[in-house]
Amino acid sequence: MSPWLPILMAVPVVGAIVVALLPKGSDKLAKQVTLLVSLLVLVLTGVMAAGFKPSGERFQFVAEYNWIPSFGVKFGVGVDGVALVLIALSVVLVPIVVLASWHDADGVKAADGTLITPKRSVKTYFSLLLVLETMMIGVFAATDIFLFYVFFEAMLIPMYFMIGSYGGAQRSYAAVKFLLYSLFGGLLMLVAVIGLYVVAGKQTFMFPELVGAIQDPTMQKWLFGGFFIAFAIKAPLWPVHTWLPDAAAQAPAGAAVLLVGVLDKVGTFGMLRFCLELFPDAAKAFTMPIVVLAVISIIYGAIVAIGQTDMKRLIAYTSISHFGFIVLGVFAMSSVAQSGAALYMVNHGFATGALFLAAGFLIARRGSPFIGDYGGVQKVAPVLAGFFLIAGLAGLSLPGLSSFVSEFMVMIGTYSSQAHGSGALAAAAVVSAVAVVLAAVYILWMVQRTMNGPTAEPVKAFKDLNAREIWVLAPLVALIIGFGFFPKPLLDVINPSVQQTLTNVQVPTSTIAEGTGQ
């Protein structure tokens, strides 16, 4: 057994305890300790990832410990290529968020200049960040389905308090709505997890042992429904998306980055791993209705984003559109589309993270999230304007930036897939391409209104990015550009896992070959 994943999960928890026990008034020290712990986790993850062998066993760095032996529940962890890149995304974003959130727990300035005071202390906020990091690593690493469910639900707790205690004026409403939606989905998933355990009759929750265990097509459909609805809410997918704009708009910018950049990926990750591999017949039976929902999400999210006047709500609606692309890629049943979907999860985290943080720096200076309250920012803060533009262009998938590669792969893989023997998927790919034009509209409109034109009177007093803020955005922009030109390192890790998924779903080899261009 490998100790790597348990260590990665333990380090943030220990750090959270240390931060929580610091003496009262040591806010700066709490921030410094949190940053150091998150950087340590990043380094450890890098060392672990260097030992991952894409051509080796599917699940690597495996560790299994008996947890509830009477029910066959284990603390079972391990990573395949998709889980590894999502854990890497998480541990890269956390120190960036810590640095970006340096003053988030101090209070939020409203448009009238008043300070919205947090309900809890600075130490609590940064402790919650570290606890959330453990949950994010655990949910992607879990190979025991019951353990996955525990992390799936437990990660709601720190995010609920981060939104409800440190967010904007409507923070309580947004936090409760986020929690209720998520708990409803989690309840359905719990029923399905119990049903899977009972019907499989294997006295285990370990994912590799349950693949292929449910043969009855009707039972597959019922269990698939429980898992899929929970993941659709988490993603979120239209029409169960309405919690996201409220939560993202009211959350502190750093918390919004982790919410949209990582936590929501648990939904699409769950679809790719659990929905497809545990219930392959049901996945094939429900593919076209899900593809329709994905296309609606793509177009709906983009159209509604165009009408937003609040920057953070606009970014949230763009994410609904992006998640539609990811779901479309997952259910296209071709390796190009699924690899593109997995890559999209990572690239969306970097691009949307950069856009949320740049918007957060704007809002911190002006005290208003409304686009109409800005104008001419590039004249007084050209560095901030430059980062904002690059992040926005990544959001519209400009060629040369990382999002373009994944979006292109999803559309090409969907268009060329023959998994369902008809032109329905090709039509879905064509319709979804409309969102590319719509993305240019909502991103360029936002950039034009905020960065260009006459300088608004309150904007004239803006200061450009300081060194801390540059250190926040520069790594994300570097990753966006780097993976835009050279995505191969990520795809080399992702592709073998996708091939294994398609094999378990029993997609014909000819279909896989067509999707890869072989």
pLDDT tens figures, 405-453: 999 999 998 888 766 555 888 888 888 888 888 888 889 999 999 988 8
The pLDDT tens digits of the residues spanning 240-297 come to 888 899 998 888 888 899 999 888 899 999 999 999 999 999 988 898 899 999 999 9
Report how far residue 511's alpha carbon sits from residue 106's, in angstroms, rounded to the nearest whole number: 54
Instruction: Grade residue 216 by pLDDT with cuts at 50, 70 and 90.
Output: confident
Q: Above 80 in pLDDT, residue 110?
A: no
Of all residues in the chain, the percent with pLDDT exceeding 70 is: 94
User: Does pLDDT of 112 surpass 60?
Assistant: no
Q: What is the pLDDT of residue 508?
A: 55
What's the average model confidence in pLDDT over 190-211? 89
Task: State the pTM of this model.
Answer: 0.91
With beta carbons less than 8 A apart as the criterion, state whether 337 and 79 touch: no
Q: How confident is the model at residue 233, as a pLDDT?
A: 93
Cis peptide leading into residue 236 (ω within 30°): yes
pLDDT of residue 72: 85
Q: What percent of the chain has pLDDT over 90?
A: 55
What is the C-alpha to C-alpha distance for residues 316 and 302, in angstroms, rounded to an integer? 10
Summarize the confidence of residues 372-383 as an average pLDDT: 89
With bands split at pLDDT 50, 70 and 90, how would you rate the model's confidence at 117?
low
Cis check: omega of the bond before 95, within 30 degrees of 0 = no
Q: Are 150 and 79 in contact (CB under 8 A)?
A: no
68 forms bridges with which residues in the sheet?
A: 73
Segment 203-229 shows an average pLDDT of 89
- Residue 76, φ and ψ in degrees, nearest 5: -110, 120
Residue 142: φ, ψ to 5°: -65, 125
Burial of 441 (C-beta count, 10 Å sphere; 0-12/13-18/19+):
middle
Q: Are the CB atoms for 303 and 373 separated by under 8 Å? A: no
Q: How confident is the model at residue 456 (pLDDT cuts 50, 70, 90)?
A: confident
pLDDT on residue 516: 41
CA torsion sign, 102 to 107 to 111 to 114?
A: negative
Residue 381 contacts residue 465 (beta carbons within 8 Å): yes
Query: In terms of Cα–Cα distance, which of 241, 295, 245, 288 is closest to 267?
Result: 241
For 131-141, what is the mean pLDDT?
95
Cα-Cα-Cα-Cα torsion 488, 493, 499, 501, nearest 10 degrees, comes to: -130
Distance between CA 202 and CA 210 in Å, rounded? 8
pLDDT for res 113: 53
pLDDT at 512 over 80: no
Q: Which of 355-359, 453-457, 464-468 has the lowest mean pLDDT?
A: 453-457
Lowest mean pLDDT: which of 91-95, 168-172, 472-476?
168-172
Q: What pLDDT score does 518 carry?
A: 35
Q: What is the DSSP letter of 261?
A: I
Residue in 466, 332, 323, 518 with CA at minimum distance from that of residue 403: 323
Average pLDDT, the chain: 88
How do residues 301-335 score in pLDDT, each as one tens digit? 999 999 898 999 999 999 999 999 999 999 988 88
